[in-house]
Structure 1
């Protein structure tokens, strides 16, 4: 009896690769959004389970319900509104002053080696100094009013912002500058019409990133002699072991930072439609 050989047909055509793990490949917007929401949902679910089964003592990690009750109390008493308003004022002013000074200095350093050599050694020195170390000095210099808080926010963002703007300007291909010069554009026309236009999307991203840094320095800025503010409320709650108030303050800072970040991204998409962000 002849042997019968059974063969499995494995020729099913080219296998379709999953786009999820393809390098720098776009995925549907719905999937992108769902992934982010799912991760946040999983985080809060783990938090709820840990506190519901008392796996962590409430003193160290209160549940979402306790944080929600604290949120409702602070809203009803007007505490949270006042804190948010004070912190937004300090963040906005500190970041604006930092940006208005960092922008021209960064542009000069990115275009002219003389200014890079003039400013970069000092900026490189100061940017490694922690902003919290300047708290005693800023109190001596400006007292304990809002000026001191704004100065801390300025110190925390200015020096890094200058160097990032310088790098944004340096990213302009030298060939573009040489071609523009060949076509007879003046130095300032090249600076405005070529260099700044090319570098502006990157500079706008630098604005967004440094504003995010300013939010992280808020607690440090409101560490001393503040009477209102989200950072002040967190430090005050720590003294009285009000953990739910600490978590509420952290979440509010995170949400406000996220809102400002999304606003900058929306403005980016409107102002720089010609940019291909797919990478």
Structure 2
């Protein structure tokens, strides 16, 4: 066991299970043509597996106290680049990247958003997140777990909940269970080809403004005409979380909404 003192400010909960590592290896499908990006290598547990199976790995580690040990541990690898920087302030370099990471949970959403903003450089994202967050990210369009973030994820990616990870697999042990998920970037730009992204998310923000309210009430409050809404909504009791992306696109076009 390492004597390293974990820092709460960085949300450090390191992987601590060979069984879990093998499970991750089996789903991420690394090979000698794979270029990987890792965020927060920590003590290098996941890093080691990636280096043994991928063509090249770039790891971003914000904690300077971990750098020396990581450099010593992996000095024999010439397919490894360790960057002592805050990932959120760094530029992502490369193409056809596969992200494999146990990310700090307190900034899950900003990290996911940054990765998706760099979707031209990334093919697939495999990340460890809190279980409840994984459910929200990967949920179908029904039920209270759906949010604007759900729409953001599904607009640009195909999400998949891979498996649950009990909290005992980490050191130190966190308060909640985790989950390993996959976000596959939509290279076909399915929804981007159907509607302008700025218009779509401007509308979605209005639709989800108050989750306990019906969709028609939220949109009326946003200034939409009641008669037009009733004409385009078959059910005036429906809530925003019940509509799919395709249904929202039809609604936006039906309302001729083009404001940003």
TM-score w.r.t. the length of structure 1 is 0.23
Q: Which has the higher contact order (CA 8 A, sep 6+)?
A: 1
* Structure having the larger proportion of residues in helix: 1
Structure of higher CA gyration radius: 1
TM-score w.r.t. the length of structure 2 is 0.24
